[in-house]
Structure 1
Amino acid sequence: MRLGDQLQRLREEKNMSREELAQRINVSRQAVYKWENNKGYPDIQNLLRLSEIYETTIDELIKNDPTLQRKIDNNQDKSKELDDEEMLNPGFYIGIVIIFLGIFLGIALGNLIVSTFLNIIGMLIICFYKDILKFLKNIKKDFNEQ
């Protein structure tokens, strides 16, 4: 049974109209209509509210909807791919090398300012590598146009 069908059945068991349900969870009547007709899904906050109103668990609400489960699985796969992609990002490795260089030079020279500066630069490269590349490409493009 799809989530929308289940939501409609549960609402009717509680003898509630779409309007009453919408008011109780502070959404539009159209939102409830979309959910019940499988044209959209409630967000997690609304799923929590619905589970409280219908006296059921979120697990029971979504367990029988294979489409929603596939959507959740796809989102988890994408987030895992993004995490893996971030670790393969050359900026991560460049930044780590600069941080270790800063630590080494700080110890070797006894200069805490150099170490701190290189550590900050390394962290910025790790965090903003793609943005830095875009910025440099734009500068190169502007320079070539002149």
Structure 2
Amino acid sequence: MNIGERLKHLRELKGMSREDLSRKMNVSRQAVYKWENNKGYPDIQNLLKLSEIYETTVDELIKGNYSSTSQKEIDIDENKEDDDIWNIGFYIGMAIIFLGSFLNLFFGLWIFFIVLNIVGTLIACFSKELKRHIVRTIIDFKKSFN
């Protein structure tokens, strides 16, 4: 699928007419027609606007690298996670911090206290980012085989 076909496909998925898109983009309807029929190409500023409107990346607009798990699906999952008060990574991090405190308090193992506090804090604070990074790495790895 070439860039014009991708742009047309994404516009139709959004249920927009060329007129609607041209108003949002502040360009003529003819410009949209030219982009979709490969008679011209949007400049970088218009590509950025298109990526925002279509909720995709510029890279996906140009290259057309769509996988079974789209960016929109990942973002939806991340938003669900943000609302979840029972984030398991936070509680695992806190448990590691308490384990370090326990080892220091009862056994005087201060080095474990320091190391486990650092590790526990990192896990508690950054577990969502680690999960996102792992998921995106797996998706990119899967794309490389396609």
TM range (shorter): 0.3 to 0.5
| Larger relative helix fraction | 1
Query: What TM-score does the superposition give when structure 2 sets the normalisation length?
Result: 0.43
What's the TM-score, normalizing by structure 1?
0.43
Q: Which has the larger radius of gyration?
A: 1
